[in-house]
Chains A and B, each alone.
Chain A
Amino acid sequence: GENVEQHPSTLSVQEGDSAVIKCTYSDSASNYFPWYKQELGKGPQLIIDIRSNVGEKKDQRIAVTLNKTAKHFSLHITETQPEDSAVYFCAAASEPGTYKYIFGTGTRLKVLA
Chain B
Amino acid sequence: DARVTQTPRDKVTEMGQEVTMRCQPILGHNTVFWYRQTMKQGLELLAYFRNRAPLDDSGMPKDRFSAEMPDATLATLKIQPSEPRDSAVYFCASGLSRASSYNEQFFGPGTRLTVL
Question: Contact residues of A with B, CB < 8 Å?
Answer: 32, 34, 36, 41-46, 49, 51, 89, 93, 96-106
Contacts and interface: CB of A to CB of B under 8 A. Distances in A.
A89 B93 CA distance: 15
Contacts of B93: 43
B42 to A, nearest CB: 4
Given A97-B97, A100-B45, 9 more contacts: A41-B109, A43-B4, A44-B107, A46-B104, A96-B101, A97-B100, A99-B95, A100-B48, A105-B41
A49 B42 contact: no
19 contacts: A32-B102, A34-B102, A36-B107, A41-B109, A43-B4, A43-B91, A43-B109, A44-B43, A44-B91, A44-B107, A49-B102, A97-B98, A97-B100, A98-B31, A100-B56, A101-B45, A101-B105, A105-B41, A105-B42
Contacts, number: 61
Given A104-B42, A106-B42, A99 B56 contact: no
